[in-house]
Structure 1
Amino acid sequence: MARAFKDNRSAHQKIAAGLRRRITRGDLPPGAQLPSTPALMEEYDVAGTTVQKALAMLKEEGLLLGQPGKGVFVKGSTQQAISPEVYMPPAAVGEPYRWISEAEKRSQRGSSKLLKVGVVPPPHEVAKALGLDEGGQALLRKQVLFLDEEPAELTRSYYPLELAEGTAMMEQRKIRGGSPTLLTELGYPPRHLVDEVSSEIPTEDEALALELPKDMPVLLTFRTVYSDHERPIEVSLLAKAAHKYRMRYRLRTP
């Protein structure tokens, strides 16, 4: 027998959730006009102020746009799918970081901003994935990735010091072609990755970097990249706005 459960969210939060899902999944495409406030009041059996609160939430998230005298329209789009496997191979000689080249294929402009480079004690799960001894340190490279000038991903990547020391990874500057290219040049080509994806409440650092609206979760990916002989060469924490992006994986049966 199913146990009773009550959704304790406020009425406007429930309405916003329903409309958000219709927008992100394409049922309300970009440019579509939402039903009028009276129509939404009747559909959800709520007062006009409740409808307006719901619409205000979605406007803050960048999904809706009000046009005085015309109505409310979908500004955002369906969620953009990110395919991790396209970013793992090293860039060709002379080519930019794959985040940039892949964005160009979608008629977008990709860019990045390097926030921090330094030797740090990594988080517990990162140290474990890298096989570090207790108290061990790793190189951290932290950056924000942008698509069309909007922050898309906060990336915190950790590298074993024995691989990073004496290389361009230790410098406070971008790496031409990205870390996969440099690691390959060092003799540690990326061979495969393992992702663990979860939806989590953002930290203040993530909320500020991604310019998140209030109460919006992040899609957090814990990624371990392996080279030959199953050697871990990079462990990353990748945070994306959950209402804007989704992960796409292509799996083949053995």
Structure 2
Amino acid sequence: MARAFEDKRSAHQKIAAGLRRQITRGDLAPGAQLPSTPALMELYGVAGTTVQKALLMLKEEELLIGQPGKGVFVKGSTQQAISPTVYMPPAAPGEPYRWISEAEKRSQRGSSKLLEVAEVIPPHEVATALGLEEGERALLREQVLLLDEEPTELTRSYYPLELAQGTAMMERRKIRGGTPTLLSSLGYPPREFVDEVSSEIPTQEEAVALELPKDMPVMLTFRVVYSDDDRPIEVSLLAKAAHRYRMRYRLPIT
């Protein structure tokens, strides 16, 4: 028998959660009008101030928009599915970074903003995945990826210094085609990657970079990319706004 458990969230948080799920899963479509405040008060058995707090949360998340004299409407869309596998192959010669080319296929504008390029002592799990000794440094390239000027993903990618030194990866500038293309040209093409995906409370850096509303978690991906002979060539921490995106994987069953 399942043990009793009480949802201790406030009433407006519970209402917002239910409406958010209807929006992100498409049950409330973009442009749909929500019931009036009195109707929502009756539906949920709460006061008007509680309804307004719930709607304010979703407005701050840019899922709802109020139109004076008309009502409250769904502004956001269903969550956008991102397929990691399409971004992994190196770009063809002369082609842009796959984040940009894949966005164009969806009639979106993809761009990136480089935040930092530095030699650092990486986090413990990154060092372990790269096979580094304690205190050994790696190259960090940190950037924000954007879709239609909206911050979408904070990417912190780490590379073994022995691969990066003497290359454009060490320079504070964007790389044509992205690092997968450069690594492939050096004889280290990406062959396989392993993702571990979790939902976590954002750090201050993540909240600011992704312009997250209050109390919104991030979808955090810990990714290890391998080249030939299972050599790790890149380890990344990828943070996405959890209410805007979902991951899509299509894998063969063997």
Structure 2-normalised TM-score? 0.99
Amino acid corresponding to residue 89 of structure 1 in structure 2: P
CA distance in 1, matches of 2:246, 2:157: 20
Q: Which residue identity lines up with residue 29 of structure 2 in the other structure?
A: P
Match of 2:183 in 1: 183
**Partner SS, residue 30 of structure 2:** coil
Alpha-carbon offset, residue 251 of structure 1 = 1.1
1:86 equivalent in alignment to 2:86: yes
Report the secondary structure of 1:57's partner residue: helix
Superposition map of 1:88-103 within 5 A: 88-103=88-103
Partner SS state of residue 183, structure 1: helix
Q: Per the alignment, in what secondary structure is the counterpart of residue 174 of structure 1?
A: coil
* Counterpart Cα distance in 2 of 1:67 and 1:135: 56
What CA distance in whole angstroms lies between the structure 1 residues aligned with 2:94 and 2:248?
Answer: 28
Unaligned runs of 5+ in 1: none
Helix, strand or coil at the partner of 1:128? helix
Give the Cα–Cα distance (whole angstroms) in 2 for the partners of residues 251 and 36 of structure 1: 44
CA-CA distance at 1:29 after TM superposition: 0.8
Matched with 1:136 is 136
Q: Secondary structure at the match of 2:108?
A: coil
Structure 2 equivalent of residue 105 of structure 1: 105
Partner residue, 1:151: 151
CA distance in 2, matches of 1:253, 1:66: 46
Give the structure 2 partner of residue 50 of structure 1: 50
SS of the counterpart of 1:252? coil
C-alpha displacement of 1:189: 0.2
How big is each residue's C-alpha offset from its partner over 1:23-78, in whole Å with a ceiling of 9 and x where there is no partner? Answer: 00000011111111111111111111100000000000000000001000000010
Task: Supply the distance in 2 between the matched residues of 1:165 and 1:29 (Cα, whole angstroms).
Answer: 50
The DSSP-based 3-state class of the residue aligned with 2:194 is strand
> What stretches of structure 2 of length at least 5 have no aligned partner?
none
* 1:146-200 deviation line (CA, Å, top 9, x unaligned): 0000000000000001100000000000000000100000000000100000000
Q: CA deviation at 1:4?
A: 1.2
Following superposition, the deviation at residue 2 of structure 1 comes to 1.5
SS at the partner of 2:132?
coil
- Once the two structures are TM-superposed, the CA of residue 130 in structure 1 deviates from its matched residue by 0.3
SS in 1 for 2:19: helix
Name the % identity. Answer: 84
SS in 2 for 1:151: strand
Using the alignment, how far apart are the partners of 1:123 and 1:238 within structure 2? 14
Q: CA deviation at 1:218?
A: 0.2
Query: Which residue is 1:246 aligned to?
Result: 246
Alpha-carbon distance in structure 2 between the residues aligned to 1:55 and 1:253: 43
Give the distance between the partners of 1:34 and 1:128, measured in 2 at CA.
50
1:18 aligns to what SS in structure 2?
helix
Runs of 4 or more off by more than 6 Å in structure 1?
none
Q: State how far apart, in whole Å, the 2-side matches of 1:233 and 1:82 are.
A: 23
The one-letter code sitting in structure 1 at the alignment partner of 2:245 is: Y
Structure 2 counterpart of 1:48, which letter? G
- Give the TM-score normalised by structure 1: 0.99
Amino acid at match of 1:80: Q
1:159 & 1:210 partners in 2: Cα distance? 23
